[in-house]
Chains A and B, each alone.
Chain A
Amino acid sequence: MTIRTEPFVVNIGPQHPSTHGVFRMRCVLDGETVVDADMVVGYLHRSLEKLAEERTYTQNIPFTDRMDYLSAMSGNLGYVMAVEKLAGIRVPERAQYLRVIMAELQRIANHSMAIGTFINDCGAWQTPLMWMFAEREKILDLFEMTCGARLTCNYMRIGGVAFDIPDEFIPAINSFLADFPRKIDEYEKMLLENEILIARAKGNGVITKEMAINASITGPMLRSTGVPYDIRKVDPYAVYDRFDFAIPVGENGDSYDRFLVRLAELRESHKILVQAVRDLPGGPYKVDVPLAIRPPVGEAYARVESPKGELGFYLVSDGGAAPYRFHVRSPSLINLSLLREMIVGHSVADAIVAFGSIDIVLGEVDR
């Protein structure tokens, strides 16, 4: 006699400790294997793109904080670069260096959280997360020292940065940078050879190079498949071409490689930061830009390498004080294009680990 089984539908999310926000996956399970997966987003849709059409260009900068709220500096940077491209504004040297410093600090903070939560999804009850958060706290203290906020920094302005760094910033960042390589060594010692982590993450959520390029994947997810595409190198913005750093690249495109790429990017960001702090020039930190800037009619697309991928801002101006169209090319949403291919055919536990390795932020997915 054959036993009849039937697949059942399980909702993972929207309230779930591991979905990094309000994200819902409807999985059709056959026992433990996922047969079909469908994602439902929009729980955090705040219609920021529509709201931005009512506000001036400078008033839209806080929106970019709150989209990817875990890497606010990158969001700010991309947006002000797009406006500067539209309006043809040249940013002074000191501001460019400060932008690079803040962006790289934000990358370290974001990757600490990404790696920590990834291992948390693998099951390690927050121990690596708490270790990495100790470093993240120091970075957030640096941010608070400069612009007053830890998370939603609102630091970049059109034509420069909002505030110059205070006097205690340089000693603080130097002490952080002096201590950081030792901490990365500690994390590597704890995590790289952890057999359970390797057993969970290897071969999990595999994507190939061709699949990734065709699906517009960018960021550490693309680099883990072996494609060394990093906008800081191929399309340098804000003095990145003056620094000497490398791009970590994986091989297999699985979760373990994504984890390795993020771990190695911590070191590369540290290298950039050391060089940037050493070469920080004097001079003005902002050019004088009117409060309600009216760029000429036209369009511009500017992209930065945010810690999650390629963050692009597409702005259309009609000559008024508010943008006519404000579109965010959100890396988190587009990196989810391959979610179904990564999950179907594997078990629920693997689905959670693969989803955690993509590193999405729902604020950016839903905008």
Chain B
Amino acid sequence: MNFDLLWSIAQTFATTALVSVGGISTMIPEIHRQAVEIYGWMTDAQFASSFAISQVAPGPNVLLMSLVGWRVAGFAGMMVATLSTIIPTSIICLVAARLENQLTHAKWYSVTRKSLPPLIVGLIFSSGVVTARAAVQDAVGVLIVMGVGIYFFLTKSNPLVSIFASIVVGVVAGRLGLL
């Protein structure tokens, strides 16, 4: 087993999780930068297919990180990526949740809670752009991104509906020779 590789995976995922506010989607640009551009662990195409598979599988969005770990170093990589994404941040969360009753009276706490959300929105759009660069290759892809984006913005529909409808569109477009 390659412990140096596993250690790099642990460091990359733990550090990225610790500085990501707003959830898994804000981690995606940094994980892409590290895994594809800095370490060369995987190609853009492999990153894109991992992203797609993790969205189709049931379970937390953290599964994308599990899958990147699997692609890099098999089962051990998957476990290391998953655990280093969730354990350090869960510990911080545990402490914060237990202190929250005292924190709510502190000024800096309420200022922080009001100040962070706009940054989170910017990070989520960043995640969209980075995954689009890796995953969208043709006009049908662009149409799916725009269609799903607008539909999901305007309705309260389940994400899975959009994903399966898009799969049908993609397969049919391929059969018709549009791709």
Partners in one complex: no
